[in-house]
Chain A
Amino acid sequence: MSEGSSGQPAIAEDQERELQALLALSQRSRARLERLHEVLTSPGHFGAGATPSAVVYRENKLRLLRLLDEQGRPRAGPPVLFVPAPVSRYFIVDLLPGRSFAGYVAEAGFDVFIADFGTPTREDRFCDLEYYVEGLVRRCVRTVTTLTGRPAINIVGYCLGGTLSLLYSALHPDTVARLVLLTTTVDGDVEGGIAWVAHKMGLAGESYEQPRLVPAVEVKSWFEMLSPGSNSLAGRVRDLWERLDEPAERLRDVRTMASWVDDVVPAPGRLLAEMYQKFGPGRNGLLAGTATVGNQPIDASRITMPVMSVSAEKDTIAPPEGVDAIRRIVPHAEVVRLPGGHVGIVAGRAAAALWKRTVDFLAGGSGAGGGA
């Protein structure tokens, strides 16, 4: 045994190596915990939307938001109505300053409105497709046309919100100038997605006659079912722990996205039952031409306005082949496939590609003065 520089006895070489490794592990773990603390104590996102807005219409749990400029005024360009999925929170299209799809469209000069369907409560379990399409969406459009004085407006529908927008556009084509559908399934027989997995598992789905309010945690489990492992507590904690090596700024982005992914809302059972029975595997009402809203048949040939449909390459919720099938019912639709997943293409780090494409489409190639 020799003596160290401070006079303490030196440790045998192999023990020293082990201690060095343990020290490095301890330092890395502590750095991760310090970064976690930094992220958790910085302001988070509370689902209030990033862009200043005013509520211009309310009905039941729905709020129709109109985005405002820096002076608190609505913009003067053509109106655009965002219709997010009613089973998730609206702020995915208005996530953070600089990371807001709706904010980007507004910055391009459009007068942007967002339908926030809110959080359904127990009595809303009876809400069906007609309530959403002919009720909430239609009255949002009527509010927008009244406020802007424009007879036809642009609509951007996301996921199930895209389905509602597509059905609405078939029923009221004269009020829609341009239609953008984002990750909106048209072919329910394509392998993948929640409805297809449920069908393969032989599940009957929700009851139309005796609907329940499907708890948020159950809705969440359906999404997690599509990416096995993501719902395992150990898996998620491990994933977070590994991520804590990343810079705090990047982690704040992750946190914002997680705050949306985890913040699901309960779903009206009757709406889910009707959509599963009409558009799900084996029925496929949109392609089969048997779809109805209330007593009204859906005639896709009435969708004559310009349409752009966007699918995501790695989408496990709305598989891209099922989305691109829009070609079969709306042959003039511009079909776009972008790299990324269901949420990433709208609000991820590469979402700017979609935002720019959408603005170009809405502008009809002639700037914000085009479109409606």
Chain B
Amino acid sequence: MADEKKQPEPTLVERWLDEQQQWQKTLLTYLDSLAKNEDFLTHLGNAMRGSLLAGKAYPRPDAAAAPDTAADDRLDRILHALHQIEGQLTDLKFTVEELKASVRKRKDKKKRKDEE
């Protein structure tokens, strides 16, 4: 305890020197993360945009918004129509299942009535 009390307060200059060393450590930690973690640059890039978007790059304005050619447009329309047909087929499947279930229910009901 007595020794601790004798330790002189660091001067301002000493504190500045220590701070410089701490800055070097901080910067080295960033460099280390950049080298070891390939996602770190994405995270840092997002932070530099004021965003903390995790795990993926910030949205960019280059998404394909419109088809390039008339053929692309036709292809998109066909794909969309196929998705609609896919949905209608699923609806049909549901309807068949529901009909089956209701027939089964009716049969069970009739069977119970007959047994009574």
Contacts and interface: CB of A to CB of B under 8 A. Distances in A.
A174 interface: no
B54 A259 contact: yes
A263 B11 CA distance: 49
B23 to A, nearest CB: 6
Describe B's contact surface by its main secondary structure: helix
A127 B47 contact: no
Given A4-B11, A122-B76, A146-B97, A266 B63 contact: yes
Contacts of B65: 212-215, 266
A16 B12 CA distance: 8
B1 interface: no
A239 interface: yes
A40 B44 contact: yes
Interface in B48-90: 48-56, 58-61, 63-67, 72, 75-77, 79-80, 83-84, 86-87, 90
Interface stretch (A28-36, A271-279, A306-314, A342-350): A28-36
Contacts of B48: 237
Given A40-B47, A41-B40, A237-B48, A122 B64 contact: yes
B16 A41 contact: no
A20 interface: yes
B16 to A, nearest CB: 6
Interface in B1-49: 8-9, 11-16, 19, 22-23, 26, 29-30, 33, 37, 40, 43-44, 46-49
A101 to B, nearest CB: 19
B55 A259 contact: yes
Contacts of B30: 33, 37
B108 interface: no
Given A123-B79, A216-B59, A258 B52 contact: yes
Interface stretch (A43-51, A319-327, A363-371): A43-51
**How big is the B interface, by class?**
35 or more
Given A123-B83, A264-B59, A8 B64 contact: no
Contacts of B50: 233, 235-240
Interface in A106-129: 122-127
A365 B64 CA distance: 49
Interface string A234-274: 01111110000000000100111011001110100000000
Contact of A212 (B8, B51, B66): B66
Nearest to B64: A122
A213 B64 contact: yes
B63 A139 contact: no
A52 to B, nearest CB: 19
A220 interface: yes
Nearest to A244: B47
B77 A126 contact: yes
B63 to A, nearest CB: 4
Contacts of A41: 33, 37, 40, 43
Nearest to A251: B52
Contacts of B15: 23
Contacts of B64: 122, 213
Interface string A2-37: 001110100100001001100100110010011011
B87 A123 contact: no
A14 to B, nearest CB: 13
A223 to B, nearest CB: 12
A34 B87 CA distance: 51
Contacts of B52: 39-40, 240, 251, 254-255, 258-259
A216 B63 contact: yes
Nearest to B88: A135
5 tightest A-B CB contacts, nearest first: A236-B50, A44-B54, A123-B79, A255-B52, A259-B54
Interface of A: 4-6, 8, 11, 16, 19-20, 23, 26-27, 30, 33-34, 36-37, 39-41, 44-47, 59-60, 122-127, 131, 135-136, 138-139, 142, 146, 212-218, 220, 233, 235-240, 251, 254-256, 258-259, 262-264, 266
Given A236-B50, A258-B53, 9 more contacts: A6-B13, A23-B19, A40-B43, A136-B87, A217-B60, A220-B59, A258-B52, A263-B53, A263-B56
